[in-house]
Amino acid sequence: MKVWTRRLLRLFPCKPCYAFEQINLLLTPVLPETPKEALSTRGVTVRIRDAQWIMKKPRAAVGSGGRRGKQASSGEGRGRCVRGSRQAKSSGLARQQEEVVSQASVSLYHLFRDVAEVTAFRKSLLSWYDREKRDLPWRRLAESEVDPDRRAYAVWVSEVMLQQTQVATVINYYTRWMQTWPTLRDLASASLEEVNQLWAGLGYYSRGRWLQTGARKVVEELGGHMPRTAETLQRLLPGVGRYTAGAIASIAFGQAAGVVDGNVVRVLCRVRAIGADPRSTLVSQQLWSLAQQLVDPARPGDFNQAAMELGATVCTPQHPLCSQCPVQSLCRAHQRVEREQLSASQSLPGTCDIEACAPNTGQCQLCAPPTEPWDKTLGVANFPRKANRKPPREESSAICVLEQPRAFGGARLLLVQRPNSGLLAGLWEFPSVAAEPSEQLQCTALLQELQNWVGPLPATRLQHLGEVVHSFSHIKLTYHVYGLALDEQTPVTVLPADARWLTREEFHAAAVSTAMKKVFRVYEGQRPGTCKVSLLALTQPQIHRFSAS
């Protein structure tokens, strides 16, 4: 095996992702045999297994301009995965393909190399989507709405809500949002408090604020008309990035703009066997190029939704349903699995053996790094490989649920408003302070914070009820939950504008985060009485662990 691979590498001076993946499929079952029909090229003899097959070197990468006859400089050529002496054709798919390859050391194996393959991918995916697409409210609205601005607004809201949030969770929020603010002008006239209140519990609260900010700009500066292209959407609307702009432009306005979200990343990485970290700049650029190359110009909106639907329902992170995949025949990850299984069944060396035979060849920047070998237990889930993530920052705070007695107009809870910037900006929460090293210092600091809002309070009734561990995207926050129920004799000062007394019903309807609702559940489960107890009365508080929602 090693003799063969060394010869093949001399013929194809690149990382074996191109040479080996193409040749090994033909050679693996027949390497132990003596070739009967053979083709000799530069000293390498290869059996012809399927019809006529001629080995050729890949073309040389051309400059980024893609002009006919312009070849990569000698400095750029060293270390590239794709080398050769032929000039690329300057038209159509070939030029687009060579421009992509010229951006980095990548193999043509990871790209779509002819129009027929792209056409087959589009046709298979769209046919599957027409049969299997889910019935979702934003799709119905986008299909039935004749006003392009309202159609774009409906798509915009859905795409923002779906970022980092599951479809099942979004449906109810989306329906209530569109019933409350059916047009851009309705949203622009709403208050931030109303937006936060409706968004409460959906997470990533800045999304709602950016939606309203963008709606106000469309109404006040753009005459109520949404920009019509992905480029102008991204440039003119605050909070709209490349993905959201492409989704709106393709679904609402029919622009052939590709999109790349988490689901599309997974589909493309598997279909083209891209094993490198998709979060890297180089790989991200290649994925966007592939998405733009594949998008169907006749049905761009449907195609983009089909690609996302495929990643969400079939090509899932774990346990993908490959037997139901409409593009299985074009999937290089699936082909790799079949080759590994064939090699194992015939007791032949696996496809990765050539890696050890090519220590000095250029590293293809889209292949999995040599430090991450193929894991046969994962199958197609070997693609994409996930880089190690930095663990979330850990923080702690002390928080108190302060309850006012019924004699003062019904039991009410004290809430204060967070700053207008930063984490959970503008939302309401129970008073809190940064955690202290000892419980005594913590209670003292928390009591002082409460008194800053409502005046003097009895320290002897501040009780530690438990802990809530809540995970945000980048912070793991532990709340040390305290409770204090005032009696009728405790006077309360007039509250400032950024503090409120709310009933339980008002609290659940207010713009509060999911974390605050979890804190309140701990308080409800262990509500303190009005009798006097020691600050350290509860020495074994209950710990509640939650993840962000």
Active site members: 159
DSSP-assigned letter for residue 83 = -
The C-alpha angle with vertex 479 and arms to 474 and 481, in degrees rounded to 5, equals 165
Q: How many angstroms separate the CA atoms of 304 and 294, rounded?
A: 9
- SS3 assignment for 350-418: CCCHHHHHCCCCCCCCCCCCCCCCCCCCCHHHHCCCCCCCCCCEEEEEEEEEEEECHHHCCCEEEEEEC
Amino acid at 5: T
Tokens linked to 489: 């004799």
C-alpha pair distances (Å), 363 with each of 76, 160, 270, 366, 406: 14, 37, 19, 9, 72
Asked if the bond preceding 278 is cis, omega within 30° of 0, the reply is no
* Beta-carbon-side half-sphere exposure of residue 114 (alpha carbons within 13 Å): 4
Q: How many angstroms separate the CA atoms of 477 and 116, rounded?
A: 52
Amino acid at 4: W
Tokens linked to 317: 């992170």
Q: How far apart are the first and last CA of the chain?
A: 52
Q: How many angstroms separate the CA atoms of 121 and 112, rounded?
A: 10
* Interstrand relation of 475-485 and 393-404 (parallel, antiparallel or unpaired): parallel
DSSP-assigned letter for residue 79 = T
The C-alpha angle with vertex 38 and arms to 36 and 39, in degrees rounded to 5, equals 175
Tokens linked to 506: 């008002």
Residue with tokens 């909070």: 239
Q: Look at residues 473, 472, 488, 348 and name the one whose alpha carbon lies nearest to residue 407.
A: 488
The b-or-e profile of 31-69 (16+ CB within 10 A means b, else e) is beeeeeeeeeeeebebbeeeeeeebebbbbbbbeebeee
Q: How many angstroms separate the CA atoms of 126 and 215, rounded?
A: 32
C-alpha pair distances (Å), 503 with each of 12, 412, 457, 485, 490: 74, 4, 20, 14, 18
Q: How many angstroms separate the CA atoms of 465 and 520, rounded?
A: 11
Q: How many angstroms separate the CA atoms of 140 and 4, rounded?
A: 57
The b-or-e profile of 181-206 (16+ CB within 10 A means b, else e) is bebbeebbebeeebbbbbbbebbebb
